[in-house]
Structure 1
Amino acid sequence: MSLQGKTVFITGASRGIGREIALRVAQDGANVVIAAKSTEEHPKLGGSIYTVAKEVEAIGGKALAIQVDVRDQNNVAQAMKQAAEHFGGIDIVINNAGAIKLSGVEMLDPNRFDLMYQINTRAVLVCSQAALPYLKKSENPHILNLSPPLNLDEKWFASYAPYTITKYGMSMLTVGMNQEFAHYGISVNSLWPRTIISTAAVEFSLGGKALFSRARKPNIMADAAYQILISQQRSITGRLMIDEEILRESGVCDFSNYRYADSEDELMVDLFVAE
C-alpha cells in the first residue's frame, strides 16, 4: 500500500518526531500539512513549518505550511478547512504536538498544567473534531495520537502526576474515539516509543543531550507510524501501541540502525513503558 496522494495533517511537525513522520509519508508522495507554531527557526531547537515544507517537497511530497496553535479551536478549524480546500480533503490526522513538565503537584504552576492539558489532551479532541467532516469522506481515514499505553503503575503518578494525566487523557480519547467513530470507518490508534528518542523534549526536559547515547532516532517512530497509516479498513485500530511492537508485526527484527549513537550504553526505556 502507499500514501501517494493522501493528505496527512500533522501537528507539531516543525521538528522532532512530527518532522520525521512528515518526511516518511512524503517519500510516498503524500500531501503533508505541516501544522505548528514555529514560523522561524528556534536558535536552540531549529526547524520551522517552512523548513520542513521544503524538505517534504525535496523528496517528492507536496507541502502546505500552516501556523497553528492547537489550543485555539477556531484556529484549528480554519487550518483544517484551508488544508482540505488546498488538497481536496484530509485523510489522516496525526496529533503529535505536545508539552511536558515533569513535576509533582506541590511545585507545579497551575498555568503550566493548563498548558499541558490544552496541548496534550484537549488538542486531540479539538483537532480530531475539526477534521471529522473531512475524514468521513476519506476512503481510508486515520487518527494517530502520540500517546502512551495506559500503565497504571503508581510510579508514573508519584513524581509527575499532572503530565501523566494529560498524556493518558490522549490515550483514553483514542479508546473512546475508536468506538465512537467506528461507523465512519476511521481507524484511531496511539503510538509511543519503547525507548527515549533523541528530541528536544529529552534534551531539555529529561536530562540533557548526554542521554542521547541511550536513545533512538525519531525515524523509528516515523517508520512505525507509517505501518499503521497504510493499514486498511480498520485492520489496525483501537490500539495503544509501542513502536517496536508494530514494527515487529511488519517483519522488522533488527533495530540497531535506529540507535542515535554507536554506543554500548543500554537503551533507556521511555516513560510509561513496562520493562
Structure 2
Amino acid sequence: MMAEKHPLTDRTLVVSGGSRGIGLAIALGAARHGANVVLLAKTAEPHPKLPGTVYTAAAEIEAAGGKAIAVVGDVRSEEDVARAVDAAVAEFGGVDICVNNASAIATDPTETLSAKKFDLMQQINIRGTFLLTKACLPYLRTSPNGHVVTIAPPLNLNPHWLGAHPAYTLSKYGMTLLSLGWAAEYADAGIGFTCLWPETYIATSAVANSADFEDALASSRSPEIMADAAVEIITSPGSKVNGGCLIDSEVLRAAGVEDLSRYGGGADPIIDIFVDR
C-alpha cells in the first residue's frame, strides 16, 4: 500500500526575504514535506555580518527534500517580483502559497529617524507585501488550497506599542491591514489570508547583532517554531484560517503541541514586540 502524500508535497511556495531566519525556516519546514520553493532575496553575495545567501538557502531547501529556485531581486521592484512568480509558474506550474516575510526594521525615535529609513520600511514592508501578493493572486485562485502568510502582528492598539516606534508600527500594521483587507476582498475565493507573528523573540540575525546579544539569544526561541506554525496554517483549508492574525505558540497549542521547550528560549523567553504579556 502506498504511503499517503503529505499535503505540501509538490505544492509551490514563493517566499520573500528567504535567505535566512524566519523566511528560510518556513521554506525548510515546507521542503521537508516535499514542497517546491522559490526564494526572492537580494543577497547574492555573503554579507559580512549576516550568514547565507539566496543560493545557500536554495541548497539547504534541496538538501531538506524540496526543490528550490533562487531569484536575486528586490521585493520593492515590480519587475523582480514578476520574475520570481514567473519562475515558479515556468518550473513548477503555478503558486500555491505566498509568504510575505521580507521586512525592514528601524525603531529610532521619531525625531532621529531618517526619512530614508522611514521610506525603506514602508516600501519593503507594505509595498513589497502588496506587489508579491498581487503577482501570486492569479495562481492562488486556481490552487486547490491557496494561502498567503504574512509575517505581521495582530493589531494591538495598546498605547505602549503605538508610542514605542510609530513609523515601524505603521509599516507592520500596514502589512496586517493588507492581509485583513484581502481576506475580505477575496472571501469567496477559498484563499487563506493570514498573519503569523512570534510570541517571543526569535533567534535571528537581527537579535544576534543587537546589544547584549548573548542574553537575548539565550532567551529567544528558534525560527523553527515559526516554521512549524506556518506548516500548520498552510496545510489547513484556506477558508478555515482566512482572516486570522495568529501567534506561533497559539497555533501549535491548538494543534496539540503543549511542550515548546524544544524551541529553546529558556523558562522565561523574551516576549516579542506588539505582544502583551
Q: TM-score range by the shorter chain?
A: over 0.9
Q: State which of 207, 211, 216 in structure 2 corresponds to 1:211.
A: 216
| CA deviation after TM superposition for structure 1 residue 118, in Å | 0.8
Three-state SS of the structure 2 residue aligned to 1:176 is helix
| CA deviation after TM superposition for structure 1 residue 152, in Å | 0.4
| CA deviation after TM superposition for structure 1 residue 269, in Å | 0.2
Q: What amino acid maps onto 1:193 in structure 2?
A: P
Q: State which of 140, 146, 153 in structure 2 corresponds to 1:135.
A: 140
Q: Distance in 2 between matches of 1:159 and 1:188?
A: 27
| CA deviation after TM superposition for structure 1 residue 183, in Å | 2.1
Q: How does 1:36-75 map to 2 (within 5 A)?
A: 36-75=41-80
Who is 1:273 aligned against? 275
Is 2:34 aligned against 1:34?
no
Q: How does 1:1-275 map to 2 (within 5 A)?
A: 1-205=6-210, 208-260=213-265, 263=266, 266-275=268-277
Structure 2: gaps (5+ residues): 1-5
Q: Distance in 2 between matches of 1:117 and 1:92?
A: 23
| CA deviation after TM superposition for structure 1 residue 207, in Å | 5.1
Q: Distance in 2 between matches of 1:192 and 1:218?
A: 11
Q: Distance in 2 between matches of 1:207 and 1:200?
A: 13
Three-state SS of the structure 2 residue aligned to 1:235 is helix
Range 14-23 or range 80-89, more displaced = 80-89
Range 160-169 or range 77-86, more displaced = 77-86
Three-state SS of the structure 2 residue aligned to 1:144 is strand
Three-state SS of the structure 1 residue aligned to 2:241 is coil
| CA deviation after TM superposition for structure 1 residue 124, in Å | 1.0
Residue 149 to residue 127, structure 1, CA distance change in 2 (3 Å): same
Q: Distance in 2 between matches of 1:175 and 1:69?
A: 24
| CA deviation after TM superposition for structure 1 residue 210, in Å | 2.9
Hey, which bits of structure 1, 4+ residues long, moved more than 4 A? none
Three-state SS of the structure 2 residue aligned to 1:188 is strand
Three-state SS of the structure 2 residue aligned to 1:106 is coil
Q: What amino acid maps onto 2:232 in structure 1?
A: Q
Range 202-211 or range 93-102, more displaced = 202-211
Deviations, residues 117-157 of structure 1 (Å, cap 9, x unaligned): 11111111111111111111111100000000100011112
Three-state SS of the structure 1 residue aligned to 2:193 is strand
Deviations, residues 173-229 of structure 1 (Å, cap 9, x unaligned): 111000111222111000000000011122335753431111100000000000000
Contact 1:104/1:158 (8 A) holds in 2: no
Residue 54 to residue 87, structure 1, CA distance change in 2 (3 Å): same
Three-state SS of the structure 2 residue aligned to 1:183 is coil
Three-state SS of the structure 1 residue aligned to 2:209 is helix
| CA deviation after TM superposition for structure 1 residue 43, in Å | 2.4
Three-state SS of the structure 2 residue aligned to 1:269 is coil
Q: What amino acid maps onto 1:273 in structure 2?
A: V
Contact 1:101/1:205 (8 A) holds in 2: no
| CA deviation after TM superposition for structure 1 residue 159, in Å | 3.0
Who is 2:3 aligned against? none
Contact 1:187/1:234 (8 A) holds in 2: yes
TM-score normalised to the size of structure 2? 0.95
Residue 102 to residue 172, structure 1, CA distance change in 2 (3 Å): same
Three-state SS of the structure 1 residue aligned to 2:25 is helix
Superposition RMSD on alpha carbons, in Å? 1.3
TM-score normalised to the size of structure 1? 0.95
